[in-house]
């Protein structure tokens, strides 16, 4: 089994105050500009203090985003996935793309590069992200004793399957 060298590990997810935040109306433009200006120096300080900083950007194509939104609109069971920002964001596709580009220009640095994940295929995107993340974190081999599965004791044995056969089970539809 492999374990990271550091005694403490943390994975943080979140969004930063970026030009995208300003374009969506989530933050004032002035705040977004200050955040973009401070982002690279702050990230450099983190890295210089031995923090492994890994940034992922999940890139969805225009065609795939449209397909996902249409599927959510057409399927009442998926409509909960649509936020009140999703549909208006379609009209601002290029505006958001330009804000993304500005964010990359300001914060894609040698010491804290952005890792762009093509995410039209969600399963592949997850697997590629996990694989890449694991390659970026230093590991050392930890030797562990071999694990053996013990035999089940026959003491107090009974038909434990039959004892619940008439109970209410969740339907197995998958």
For 49-169, where are the alpha helices, taking DSSP H only? 62-74, 86-91, 93-107, 122-136
Q: Hey, what domains does the chain have and what are their CATH numbers?
A: 13-144 (3.40.50.300)
Report the range of poorest mean pLDDT among 1-5, 70-74, 137-141, 158-162: 1-5
Report the range of poorest mean pLDDT among 11-15, 137-141, 147-151, 153-157: 11-15
List pLDDT tens digits, range 56-94: 999 999 999 999 999 999 999 999 998 888 888 888 889
Residue 138 and residue 54: Cα distance in Å, rounded? 13
Residue 47 and residue 61: Cα distance in Å, rounded? 31
Residues 6+ apart with CB under 8 A from 117: 56, 57, 58, 59, 125, 128, 129, 132
């Amino acid at each position: 089994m492999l374990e990271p060298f550091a005694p403490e590990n943390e994975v943080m997810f979140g969004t930063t105050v970026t030009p995208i935040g300003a374009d969506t109306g989530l933050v004032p433009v002035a705040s977004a500009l200050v955040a973009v200006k401070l982002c690279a120096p702050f990230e450099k300080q983190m890295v210089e203090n031995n923090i492994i900083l890994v940034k992922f950007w999940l890139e969805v194509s225009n065609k795939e985003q449209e397909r996902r939104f249409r599927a959510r609109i057409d399927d009442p069971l998926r409509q909960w996935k649509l936020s009140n920002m999703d549909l208006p964001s379609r009209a601002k596709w290029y505006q958001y793309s330009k804000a993304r580009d500005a964010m990359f220009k300001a914060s894609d640095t040698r010491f804290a590069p952005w890792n762009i994940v093509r995410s039209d295929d969600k399963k592949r995107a997850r697997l590629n992200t996990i694989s890449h993340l694991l390659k970026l974190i230093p590991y050392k081999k930890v030797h562990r004793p071999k694990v053996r599965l013990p035999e089940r004791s026959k003491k107090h044995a009974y038909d434990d399957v039959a004892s619940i056969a008439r109970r209410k089970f969740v339907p197995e539809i998958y």
